[in-house]
Structure 1
């Protein structure tokens, strides 16, 4: 059995290891946008496919039994391409998406549908010192807020922004680290994407401790059609079950 695994997430790396341990051949596909990316076990390809048509062509040229989309919750374009390509080629598709974050009773969260909407909402929150933890894509939406801004990214945006203070760092981050950043820079609002997962959740706890409001960008909706699971364990079971069904 052979699986094409889309995504460079932590869940994708874990899934690649577990499937390989089950004797399943895995080809992991990474977008290649992040330098020094952590590589999964097994075969790895890097770079885009050239849209849905390109992915469909790749599936015809490199036959696989299943496709698992374990990309980031905000990689909506790649997911849409995976849905279209697998529909065209008839290859079964599973989408693995970690659950989003939910606020607790002591949280002060505000929601926005996009980076642009979040930047507009900042003006209504009457804040002055912003901590952006949305990655490098979408930063430009905040360039004209007029607010002092600290932005944290894994890799530097190109061109490097001059309107904000930039921190280059890769998670996971500890609660102690996040509290130190918020205090040192006197942050009064945290902006993040609803990425979910524990690797970068400490900033939410830190904001709660310091009574700092959090502006959360909603994740895009999933396309209708493919089956969706939320855990790596469920993904492994789906792959094994689908394999047994197709071979019986």
Structure 2
């Protein structure tokens, strides 16, 4: 029987992994998406949309569909999914691996303020600047809704969900974003402070370089920790090695 790999997707790395596995003779790959993005783009292999119903539902799916390996390649901030995946893999006795691209790290000239949550980011903002470029995604913006004296420019792939801060401009756009465009955006909106999650990767990293070159402070929401006993690999090659598909 062909090995069946389930990828919990939604990231660029998940897409690359699906393409690699789907191109291998005799390998069946299914990518599961939460369905929060209206146009997820073309994916290689099979695709399913929607949740599983928690760890128990995912356990049943792994068993029913005869999954041989589970790859959690969700966003680094999809904490609940990662916890459920770890529990389901253990319950179903399915080998599992977490794919997480490395987080960002400050370099010379950066003025970063690390925080543990969106609520903590909202707490430090008033002392850092009054015009805020907020790039933490469309969910969770209620944490900033009480900040009535600040002007927010919010960028996300899909329109953000309310409640929002009362003084908010919305930019709907999908990366990657280049350095010149990010610099122009920060200048055009007279941004004084940038807020971002530590998503990692190159697609949206240019905003950090632009902020450094303009001397702007950056509030960085750090990633939630992985569940106990769970480790991550940083790239597709590491996942392929872990699954026994390494090499040409």
TM-score, with structure 2 as normaliser: 0.94
CA contact (8 A) 1:112 1:217 kept: yes
Partner residue in 2 for 1:71: 74
Q: 1:91 aligns with which of 91, 94, 98?
A: 94
Offset from partner CA, 1:49-76 (integer Å, 9 cap, x none):
0111111111121111000000000001
Partner residue in 2 for 1:6: 8
* Structure 1 CA distance for aligned equivalents of residues 164 and 124 of structure 2: 21
1:218 equivalent to 2:233? Answer no
Alignment of 1:151-170 (within 5 A): 151-159=154-162, 161=164, 163=166, 164-170=168-174
CA contact (8 A) 1:12 1:70 kept: yes
* Structure 1 CA distance for aligned equivalents of residues 69 and 55 of structure 2: 16
Q: Cα distance, 1:47 vs. partner?
A: 0.3
RMSD of aligned Cα (Å): 1.4
SS for the counterpart of 1:14 is: helix
Alignment of 1:61-210 (within 5 A): 61-125=64-128, 127-145=129-147, 146-159=149-162, 161=164, 163=166, 164-210=168-214
CA contact (8 A) 1:97 1:230 kept: yes
* Structure 2 CA distance for aligned equivalents of residues 162 and 115 of structure 1: 13
Q: Cα distance, 1:25 vs. partner?
A: 1.1
Structure 1 consecutive aligned stretches of length 4 or more whose deviation exceeds 6 Å: none
Partner residue in 2 for 1:246: none
Task: Specify whether residues 162 and 204 from structure 1 end up closer, same or farther in structure 2 by C-alpha distance, changes over 3 A only.
Answer: closer
The range that moved more, 192-201 or 23-32, is: 23-32
Unmatched runs of 5 consecutive residues or more in structure 1:
243-248
SS for the counterpart of 2:244 is: helix
Q: Cα distance, 1:227 vs. partner?
A: 4.1
CA contact (8 A) 2:152 2:165 kept: no
CA contact (8 A) 1:95 1:229 kept: yes
TM-score, with structure 1 as normaliser: 0.94
| Alignment size in residue pairs | 241
SS for the counterpart of 1:176 is: helix
Partner residue in 2 for 1:245: none
SS for the counterpart of 1:215 is: strand
SS for the counterpart of 1:180 is: helix
Unmatched runs of 5 consecutive residues or more in structure 2:
none
* Structure 1 CA distance for aligned equivalents of residues 31 and 73 of structure 2: 10
Q: 1:234 aligns with which of 227, 231, 238?
A: 238
Q: Cα distance, 1:160 vs. partner?
A: 7.1
